[in-house]
């Protein structure tokens, strides 16, 4: 049986003109999550 992974978006730049762009923390979060998923064999 397959799996579904629900992943919330990383932190955005709230209150800034570019609010729809990831903040530095959000970029870091996405990289950590990507490494974790790759370690699970997902790509």
Answering whether pTM is above 0.75, one says no
Kindly tell me if the per-residue pLDDT of 11 is higher than 70. yes
Quote the mean pLDDT of the chain: 87
- What is the model's pLDDT at position 33? 92
Q: Where are the alpha helices (DSSP H) in the chain?
A: 24-39
The full set of domain ranges for the chain reads 19-43
- What is the model's pLDDT at position 34? 92
- What is the model's pLDDT at position 15? 78
């Amino acid at each position: 049986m397959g799996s579904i992974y629900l992943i919330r978006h990383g932190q955005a730049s709230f209150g800034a003109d570019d609010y729809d762009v990831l903040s530095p923390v959000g970029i870091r979060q996405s990289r950590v999550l990507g490494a974790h998923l790759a370690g699970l064999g997902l790509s």
